Amino acid sequence: MSFFKTGRINYGENSLKTLILDQCRYIDKTQNIYKLIKSYKRVFLARPRRFGKTLLVDTLSEIFQGNRELFRGLSIYESDYEWKPYAVIRLDMSKITRKTPKAFEENLTDNIRSVGLKLGVDLPSLTKIEDPSSYISRLLEVLDEQGKRAVILIDEYDYPVIGNISTDIDNMKIILEVMKEFCVSLKANDNYIHFLLLTGVTRIARSSIFSGMNNLKDISFNTEFCDLLGYTQEELETYFAPEISHGLSNSKLPRTDFLSKIRTWYNGYRFSDADTTVYNPADVHLFFQDDCKFTSYWTETGTPKFLVHLLSRVLKIDMDKELKYPRASQFFSSNIDLDKLDDTDNLVLLLYQTGYLTINSYDSNTEQYHLGFPNKDVEIAFNSYIVESLWDKNYNFFGNYILDRPKL
């Protein structure tokens, strides 16, 4: 049996090369990835944290650099993909400082210059070209002059913006403008770009950051790619068969009951109107590494501070009503409006995008959806960590309600 299905589980590793060379467990998503790069050239994908967005970016980077041998034994290796090498420009926005707009702009520009150096392009220092928009434009022009087509992979594009929601709104708005101009420059240089991908947790309103990139295909709610990230039930049972056998031995449960319990705790994320649901990869890895202990791992992977901040701004939200209220299909293609952070619909959409809510049911006749917690793990995390974070802000939590904390 291939080491992809039996190798060591390496939680948190986002380098495909490391996983392959160290013979670690790897769930083969390259058939989906092949379909993606054959279908679209400008893509946006939103998924909650710890769903494998960075590993997807790294996998695409290896593919577009033409490193075919790394993929031996995987689906795409046997496909008709041409393996032509491209100049890969990869930017991880979560690693760009956001303390001040000026620091963000300079650090992003410096990162672009570093990428250029790796590609053999020595752009002028920051004193000559000061903004990231000019830098990325010049880099693309030089690469084109050298006969190289570019692939641009931008991971966690929204991190610099939403990271400032809970600290400095004014900084957030200025950084948003820098990002907007950066995206405009990408659109202006579209003819130099072979493929472009943006990933993030949220979809920020197109009237701001995406106004200059109307050529992006948003596949976040696309049925065809609903399982591009996350593990399906079939993948869980196929790639983690040794761990499941071990868990069965320890639990003394029948196989169907044991698998049902795993689904109840960790499955349930749904990203389209299809019935397909997936597991969060981080939960799966932690569960099996922890000797199949049923507990909440969602909190261990970190709760976004900006989400707690936004929840604290809402004076009262009836979660029971919000979970049961039918949402139209347009809701899931909506974008977070940063000018309406106190709006309940904005908050519910954000809870969906960050993975605290998901689609529980869908009525194809009315095209309406009902939301709910994806699984027991997330429900426990919401009822504990988030509520405890709000306790000192005059809130209390009972059942499915966040209410004003009674005066003592």
What does each of the 408 residues of the chain score in pLDDT, given as a tens digit? 466 888 899 888 899 999 999 999 999 999 999 999 999 999 999 999 889 999 999 999 999 999 999 999 999 999 999 999 999 999 999 999 888 888 899 899 999 999 999 999 987 764 555 689 999 999 999 999 999 999 999 999 988 887 777 666 788 888 888 888 898 899 999 999 999 999 998 887 644 566 667 788 999 999 999 999 999 999 999 999 999 999 999 998 999 999 999 999 999 999 998 999 999 999 999 999 999 999 988 877 666 666 766 666 654 566 666 666 778 877 887 777 777 767 778 888 888 888 888 998 888 888 888 888 899 998 888 877 666 665 554 444 434 444 333 332
| Domain boundaries defined on the chain | 3-225, 233-295, 303-404
CA distance 29 to 286: 20
Q: CA geometry: angle at 388 spanning 386 and 392, to 5°?
A: 115
The reported pTM is: 0.90
How far, in Å, CA of 126 to CA of 184, rounded? Answer: 20
| Cβ–Cβ < 8 Å for 19, 26 | yes
Beta bridge partners of 195: 151
φ/ψ (deg, to 5) at 57: -60, -45
Task: Give residues with Cβ within 8 angstroms of 31, minimum separation 6.
Answer: 75, 76, 79
SS3 182: helix
What would you report as the CA-atom Rg of the chain, rounded to the nearest whole angstrom? 22
CATH of 3-225, one of 2.60.120, 1.20.1300, 3.40.50, 1.10.10: 3.40.50
How far is 34 from 81, CA to CA, in rounded Å?
8
Helix (H) or strand (E) holding 245: helix 241-251
Take residue 243 and report the two structure tokens written for it: 């761990």
Q: Kindly compute the dihedral angle of the four CA atoms of residues 29, 30, 33, 38, in this order, to the nearest 10 degrees.
A: -150
